[in-house]
Structure 1
Amino acid sequence: MKKMIAYCGLDCEKCDAYIATINNDDALRETTAKRWAELNNAPITAEMINCMGCRIDGVKTPFCDSMCEVRKCALRKAVETCGDCGEIGSCKIVAEILNNCEEARDNLTKK
């Protein structure tokens, strides 16, 4: 599986935080922080918008690093992605992502 597919199946290469990081794009960091802050009703700043992907060594957003329940669960279970977990069909942790993003579900079933 491609390393830039997140534990939940989302494609990190399409994430604005990743794109801003690899391109050192401060304008994208600003717009992403503003959008994410509004969507999540949380204090997200441009300085937080740095991420190399959740399954890759390197910098991560505060959410991806320590708050994401999907990532914490996958690390605890030592699975490459949620697609490798026998509980994926009944998992409430990743369900919202998989129910709302067909691409994420597809990414987890492609090997």
Structure 2
Amino acid sequence: MKKMIAYCGLNCEKCDAYLATVSDDQKLREKTAKLWAELNDVPILPEHINCQGCRADGIKTVFCDNICDIRQCALKKGVVTCRDCSDLERCSTAGKILENDPSALKNLKSQGKICKGE
């Protein structure tokens, strides 16, 4: 499970893009694309809804791969998750996620210090 916790602490195994990818569920891709397009006011097509996890090897959504500030920061700093970053408690970028989803912080804390080669 540790690999399926995103840099920010969200659980990729609960993400509709991940679920649609691993189960090859076209209806879930369509539903998720519609919802995400409405929420973000951008065009998102069902074929954009493919992701094998933020920290896992393989395909990611365009947002996770290229746009997510948290993922880009973690990759730049070389941390396994935001938990390993000394700026976590005062980080406004990660703070947005942690305020909206308390389970993300719980997930990060449960990770402990883990090595990059996990």
Secondary structure class of the residue paired with 2:3 = coil
> What is the Cα deviation at residue 100 of structure 1?
1.0
Q: Which residue identity is paired with 1:2?
A: K
Provide the rounded CA distance (Å) in 2 between the counterparts of 1:26 and 1:99.
31
Q: For residue 108 of structure 1, what is the aligned residue in structure 2?
A: 108
Q: For residue 60 of structure 1, what is the aligned residue in structure 2?
A: 60
Q: Structure 2: which 5+ residue stretches go unaligned?
A: 113-118
Q: Which residue identity is paired with 2:72?
A: K
Provide the rounded CA distance (Å) in 2 between the counterparts of 1:72 and 1:93.
11
- After TM superposition, the score normalised by the length of structure 1 is 0.98
Secondary structure class of the residue paired with 1:60 = coil
> What is the Cα deviation at residue 93 of structure 1?
0.9
RMSD value, Cα: 0.8
Q: Which residue identity is paired with 1:104?
A: A
What are the superposed Cα offsets for residues 17-73 of structure 1, whole Å, 9 maximum, x if unpaired? 000000000000000000000011111110000000010010000000010000000
Q: Structure 1: which 5+ residue stretches go unaligned?
A: none
Identity %: 59
Provide the rounded CA distance (Å) in 2 between the counterparts of 1:30 and 1:91.
34
Q: For residue 18 of structure 1, what is the aligned residue in structure 2?
A: 18
Q: For residue 90 of structure 1, what is the aligned residue in structure 2?
A: 90
Provide the rounded CA distance (Å) in 2 between the counterparts of 1:64 and 1:109.
22
Task: Tell me how many residue pairs correspond in the alignment.
Answer: 111
